[in-house]
Amino acid sequence: MRKPHLRLSLLVSCVSLLWIAAFATPPPRESLGIAPQDENYFRSSVIKCKDGSKQFTRDQLNDEFCDCPDGTDEPGTSACPGGKFYCRNVGHAPLTIFSSRVNDGICDCCDGTDEYDGKANCQNTCWEAGKAAREKLKKKIATFKDGVAIRNQEVEKAKQAFAKDEAELAKLKNEEKILNGLVEKLKEQKERIEKAEEEERLKKEKEEKRLKEEAEKQAIEDKKATQDSQEGNVDATLEKSSEVQLQEGNDHRTEVEDGNNQENTKSDEGDEVDDQGNIESYIGDDEPIDGLSSTPTLEEHVVESEDDNMIKAASRDDSAAKAASKTSEEQDHAPLDTEGLSKEELGRLIASRWTGENVAPKTDEVRENAKEEGDEYRLDTEIPEPAEESYDGYNSETDEEANRYEEDDFEDERDEEYNEDHIDPADSYYSDEAGKSDHSGGSSWLEKIQQKVQSVLQAFNFFKTPVDLSEASHVRKEYDDSSSKLSKLRSRISSLTEKLKHDFGKEKEFYSFYDQCFESKQNKYVYKVCPFKKASQNEGHSSTQLGRWDKFEESYRIMHFSNGDRCWNGPDRSLKVRLRCGLKNELTEVDEPSRCEYVAILSTPLLCYEERLKELQQKLDDMMRQPSTHDEL
């Protein structure tokens, strides 16, 4: 390929030299600025304006007087505002410019033909420029060639991965059905046990009460011993009724949660399930054992946080909320209390009106927090969402998506948690034991569970009084294990469903993007783009949401992220990532051409389309061929 081109170039250079010589004198007036394909149009002695408005004689062609309002008669002069001037640019690519550029003293065509009145001295730079352009084009073609190959592999991989995930989803759904049946059975069993335990407990309580009363009597009788014996009693009581206390604690906790979670439509059984979860997280104070415990854990943070800032912020929150609830009209007329401000604070405050910088006029601390935290949480705050949704710092789900699973609210929470986990590849579904066994041994883990449950259920004797504690705990444990597995399973199902519903391109070629994020460091910011999820601008620990995944645009050439953090006085932030062919995935040139409207470029082999490669090759061929065409003329 290259050698013939080289020879051709030599030819081109000779020809173009001839052309330069030819243009040393101004070209004939009649052909000035006319494109080759239009030459015939202007051959007749009476010519029509292209818009049909009138006609003109050949004398009037390029006579420096505009006759056709559309500029037909003056392609080669600046007389008509709407005119277009064609330059051949031999050695480079032909160019059509506005005829207002003709004889304006600025060289626009590389062949210099647009400046023929002698006032500007334009060199013919077409060969140089054309060479550079051709080199550039050749490089681009080389990239495309390699890129097309990579792309084909990627497309294949993506297709396979997609098929695999689809198959897995089908399998998981089946397993879920089975496991769900088991859990239901266990639950039933567990409830029965608990009912029995409850009866027993009431009995015990009565007995204890009686004993206590007796003890008190004794205490009155023997004052000296009172304190010790009382302590002893309390200890004993605590020990014996530890479960009761925990239960109470949990009741309280449940109330809190109910208060916060209006969508909590759990059945009574559900509450109990929840209680169990709480007990475990309470006692163990370990990693939450299943998704259910995550919500109470959140509450714990909110209620018990020792972070002063947070508490202050929370209390400020109220007053700020009140202030914000005032009508803006009131705001306008309410004098801003500037009395307490230092000179600098006042200056900053007034300046902030123009700039919108975050300036908290009253509490430095809050201001600093605001600065530190950046805009990370603005998104959450702007769309008031139930606490558990906001908790998910990730927030890839819109309300709409969440509602899709509203038949089971648990699903949401677990689902989100799963997503959260999923950001960190180290903590994925597959790292879980159950997951591993699932992966390796097909449904064997399920079978095992089935057997185990069966045996547990059979072993338990309901008619034994008091309840056999070890048997009961077996049931409970089995129930917990199974429901934990079930929730993981469901979580995986929903995340897979969530993933698969996206549009991954005509050939599913963008499937691998789902689990990838692309980063680019520009000055102090790190930009992070996670296709199908979100994009953010990070500075240190603070993060600003540039947008949530919206869609592909321009037939998969642009990834659009919208509804990011709101800008002061401006729009919600948004990001358009333009994709272009490159040999590896690389995020570059993040820019904010318009306030809070970001753009970036992502090079990826996925954009190295074969058709485009052909176009480019065609273009290069045209560039190489052009001089010889003229040679023939």
Partner 1 sequence: MLPRSLVLLQLLLLLSSASAWKKDEFRNCDQTPFCKRARSRPPHSLPSFSVADVSLSDGSLSALLLPPSSHPLHQVVDSASHSDSPDSPRPLLLRLSALHGGILRLEIDELETASGSRRRFRVPDVLLPDVDDRLRLRLPRLGSPAPGLSTFPISPGFEAALRHDPFELVVRRSPSGDPVLSFNSLGLFDFETLRPKRHGDGDGDGDGDGDGEWAERFRSHTDSRPRGPQSVSFDVSFHGADFVYGVPEHALSSSLALRPTRGPGVDSSEPYRLFNLDVFEYLADSPFGLYGSVPFMLAHGAGASSSGFFWLNAAEMQIDVLAPSSAGRVDTLWMCEAGVVDAFFFVGPGPKDVLAQYASVTGAPAMPQQFALAYHQCRWNYRDEEDVAAVDAGFDEHDIPYDVLWLDIEHTDGRRYFTWDRALFPHPEQMQQRLAAKGRHMVTIVDPHIKRDDSYYIHKEATENGYYVKDASGNDFEGWCWPGSSSYPDILNPEIREWWADKFSLQSYKGSTPSLYIWNDMNEPSVFNGPEVTMPRDAIHYGNVEHREVHNAYGYYFHMATSDGLLKRGDGKDRPFVLSRAFFAGSQRYGAVWTGDNTADWDHLRASVPMLLNLGLTGLTFSGADVGGFFGNPEPELLVRWYQLGAFYPFFRGHAHLDTKRREPWLFGEKNTALIREAVHLRYSLLPYFYTLFREASVSGVPVMRPLWLEFPDDKETFNNGEAFMVGPSLLVQGIYQEREKSVSVYLPGEQSWYSLRDGVAYGGSASHKLDVREDSIPSFQRAGTIIPRKDRFRRSSTQMVNDPYTLVIALNSSLAAEGELYVDDGKSYDFEQGAFIHRRFVFADKKLTSVNLAPANSGAKKFSSDCVVERIIVLGLPAGAKKAVIEPGNREAEIEIGPLNLRAGSSPVAPTIRKPNVRIADDWTLRIL
Q: Which of residues 217-256 bind partner 1 (CB under 8 A)?
A: none
Amino acid at 430: Y
| Nearest residue (CB) to partner 1, 232 versus 393 | 393
Q: Among 96, 230, 355, 454, which residue interacts with partner 1 (rule: CB under 8 A)? A: 355
Closer residue to partner 1, CB minimum distance, 236 or 341: 341
Closest CA to 299 of 329, 254, 330: 254
Q: Give residue 281's identity as a one-letter amino acid code.
A: S
Quick one: CA dihedral 509, 511, 515, 520, positive or negative? positive
The answer to whether 346 contacts partner 1 (rule: CB under 8 A) is yes
Q: Could you give the string, one character per residue 103-142, with x where binding to partner 1 holds by CB under 8 A and - elsewhere?
A: -xxx------------x-----------------------
- Distance, in Å, from the CA atom of 323 to the CA atom of 357, rounded to the nearest integer, reads 19
Of 71-79, 267-275, 507-515, 579-587, the segment contacting partner 1 by CB under 8 A is 71-79
As a whole number of angstroms, the distance between CA 355 and CA 337 comes to 20
- List all residues 6 or more positions away from 133 whose beta carbon is below 8 Å from its beta carbon: 92, 93, 623
Residue 356 binds to partner 1 (criterion: CB under 8 A): yes
C-beta of 66: minimal distance to partner 1 in Å? 5
Q: Does 466 bind partner 1 (CB under 8 A)?
A: no
User: CB 209 → partner 1: shortest distance, Å?
Assistant: 43
Nearest approach, Cβ of residue 295 and partner 1 (Å): 13
Residue with token string 């605590």: 238
- Whole-number minimum distance, CB 297 to partner 1, in Å? 13
Find the binder of partner 1 among 404, 566, 580, 630 (CB under 8 A): 566
Among 127, 144, 162, 391, binds partner 1 (CB under 8 A): 391
- Picking from 262, 291, 266, 296, the residue whose alpha carbon sits closest to that of residue 279 is 296
120 versus 161: smaller Cβ distance to partner 1: 120
Task: Choose, by CB under 8 A, the member of 149, 150, 236, 370 that binds partner 1.
Answer: 370
Positions in 142-201 near partner 1 (CB under 8 A)? none
Ordered DSSP codes for 204-250: HHHHHHHHHHHHHHHHHH-STTHHHHHHHHHHHHHHHTHHHHHHHHH
Out of 208, 215, 571, 609, the only residue in the binding site for partner 1 (CB under 8 A) is 571
Is the CB of 105 or the CB of 441 nearer to partner 1? 105
Shortest reach from residue 319's CB to partner 1, in Å? 8
Size of site (CB under 8 A) for partner 1:
89
Q: Which of 224, 343, 501, 541 binds partner 1 (CB under 8 A)?
A: 343
Residues 302-341 that bind partner 1 (CB under 8 A): 302, 309-311, 313-314, 316-317, 320-321, 323-324, 326, 328, 331-333, 335-336, 338-339, 341
Which residues between 587 and 626 bind partner 1 (CB under 8 A)? Answer: 592-597
Scan residues 405-464 and list those touching partner 1 (CB under 8 A).
none
- Token readout for 210 is 């009686």
295 lines the binding site for partner 1 (CB under 8 A): no
Which residue in the block uniquely carries the two structure tokens 């998506």? 401
Q: Does 65 bind partner 1 (CB under 8 A)?
A: yes
Site for partner 1 in 483-542 (CB under 8 A): 523
Q: What is the DSSP string of 562-620?
A: EE-SBPTTSPBPEEEEEEEE-SS-EEEEEEEEETTEEEEEEEEGGG--HHHHHHHHHHH
Report 76-105 residues binding partner 1 (CB under 8 A). Answer: 78-82, 98, 100-101, 104-105
First-to-last C-alpha distance (Å) of the chain: 26
Cα separations in angstroms, 257 against 244, 274, 334: 20, 10, 38
Residue 55 makes contact with partner 1 by CB under 8 A: no
Spatial separation of the C-alpha atoms in residues 404 and 170, rounded to whole Å:
19
Q: How far is CA 22 from the centre of its chain?
A: 59
Sign of the C-alpha dihedral computed for residues 462, 467, 471 and 475 taken in this order: positive
